[in-house]
């Protein structure tokens, strides 16, 4: 399984006077589910792009399985670490949904036969079978996001980074994406979710790395970090609904929820017992 080691990473955009990332160190590995949280402009997307070679560190290093990312091609990295752009349209170019999935498989040397089988499975898992002949640009926002994830998960990268997966999603679409990401985590793959949607993050990720103004201000168990009022305020975040509810009611262990009604059921059951 993939291991990502970041050491004293600094990154500055070529035209910028100041660093977008400063002195960042952490390691991620072995099927971890990690949320990268932080305010707008904190450096989340910049960090994600440094983890998959789309950007190269100005100072310090990023290593994938002990190899410095500078010596790897973007394609080699992508084979191990898939990256889903916050705007799925930025990654689409095929005219049909099925060809969007096929493209990466071809690039990574899947035979046509293996690709056909994989496409079938991917479209089925992500609920996109009925759209296989449709133009990706004609899908709804949620479907586009699912296709973007499907076309990357098809080649089975060991880790997946998704940038702002819930932007522009309604409730049902959001929980659909959540189901998909949780199933990837349950397969033992590493999932890194970049978001400022703390309710979404708490429902998927065990760990959080919190950024503020280009620096890591928290790294640890997500629920512990987001229970810390001072840290939450410093990061311009808010507490997840589920943590607030636990604090209000004095109940614990409410994390395993799917819908508001399932939360309420749990609260009622706990209150009764």
Ligand X SMILES: Nc1ncnc2c1ncn2[C@@H]1O[C@H](COP(=O)(O)OP(=O)(O)O)[C@@H](O)[C@H]1O
Per CB under 6 A, residues contacting ligand X are 13, 15-16, 20, 38, 40-46
- Out of ligand X, Mg ion, none, what residue 146 binds, judged by CB under 5 to 8 A for its kind, is none
Task: Please state the closest distance from residue 227 (CB atom) to ligand X, in A.
Answer: 22
- Out of Mg ion, ligand X, none, what residue 72 binds, judged by CB under 5 to 8 A for its kind, is none
Task: Please state the closest distance from residue 45 (CB atom) to Mg ion, in A.
Answer: 3
- Out of ligand X, Mg ion, none, what residue 16 binds, judged by CB under 5 to 8 A for its kind, is ligand X
Task: Please state the closest distance from residue 17 (CB atom) to ligand X, in A.
Answer: 10
217 sits in which H/E element: strand 215-221
Those residues with Cβ within 8 angstroms of residue 36's Cβ, 6 or more apart along the chain or in another chain: 44, 47, 48, 192, 193, 194, 195, 208, 209, 211
Q: Among all residues, whose Cβ is closest to Mg ion?
A: 45
Task: Please state the closest distance from residue 108 (CB atom) to ligand X, in A.
Answer: 28
- Looking at residues 18 to 57 of the shown chain, list those that interact with Mg ion (rule: CB under 5 A): 44-45
- Out of Mg ion, ligand X, none, what residue 173 binds, judged by CB under 5 to 8 A for its kind, is none
d(CA 263, CA 199): 13
Closest to 149 in 3D by CA, of 126, 115, 169: 126
7 sits in which H/E element: strand 3-11
Closest to 161 in 3D by CA, of 57, 28, 10, 71: 28
Looking at beta carbons only, is 38 or 157 nearer to ligand X? 38
What letter does residue 52 receive in the DSSP assignment? T
Those residues with Cβ within 8 angstroms of residue 212's Cβ, 6 or more apart along the chain or in another chain: 38, 39, 42, 234, 235, 236
d(CA 200, CA 175): 8
- Out of ligand X, Mg ion, none, what residue 46 binds, judged by CB under 5 to 8 A for its kind, is ligand X
Task: Please state the closest distance from residue 119 (CB atom) to Mg ion, in A.
Answer: 30
Residues that bind Mg ion (CB under 5 A): 44-45
């Amino acid at each position: 399984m993939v291991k990502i080691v970041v050491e004293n990473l600094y990154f500055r955009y070529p035209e910028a006077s100041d660093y977008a990332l400063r002195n960042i160190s952490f390691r991620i590995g072995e099927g971890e589910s990690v949320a990268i949280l932080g305010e707008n402009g904190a450096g989340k997307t910049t960090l994600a792009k440094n983890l998959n070679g789309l950007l190269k560190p100005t100072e310090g290093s990023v290593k994938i399985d002990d190899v410095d990312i500078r010596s790897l091609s973007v394609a080699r990295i992508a084979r191990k670490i898939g990256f889903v752009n916050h705007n799925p349209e930025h990654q689409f170019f095929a005219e049909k949904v099925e060809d969007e999935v096929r493209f990466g498989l071809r690039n990574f040397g899947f035979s046509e036969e293996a690709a056909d089988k994989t496409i079938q499975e991917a479209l089925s898992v992500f609920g996109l079978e009925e759209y296989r002949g449709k133009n990706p640009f004609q899908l709804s926002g949620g479907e586009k996001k699912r296709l973007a994830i499907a076309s990357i998960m098809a080649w089975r990268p060991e880790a997946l980074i998704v940038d702002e997966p819930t932007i522009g999603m309604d409730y049902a679409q959001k929980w659909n994406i959540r189901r998909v990401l949780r199933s990837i985590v349950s397969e033992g793959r590493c999932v890194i979710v970049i978001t400022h949607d703390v309710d979404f993050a708490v429902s998927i990720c065990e760990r959080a790395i919190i950024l503020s103004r280009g620096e890591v201000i928290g790294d640890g168990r997500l629920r512990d970090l987001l229970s810390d009022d001072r840290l939450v305020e410093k990061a311009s975040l808010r507490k997840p609904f589920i943590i607030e509810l636990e604090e209000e009611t004095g109940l614990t262990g409410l994390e395993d929820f799917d819908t508001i009604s399932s939360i309420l059921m749990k609260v009622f059951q706990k209150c009764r017992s």
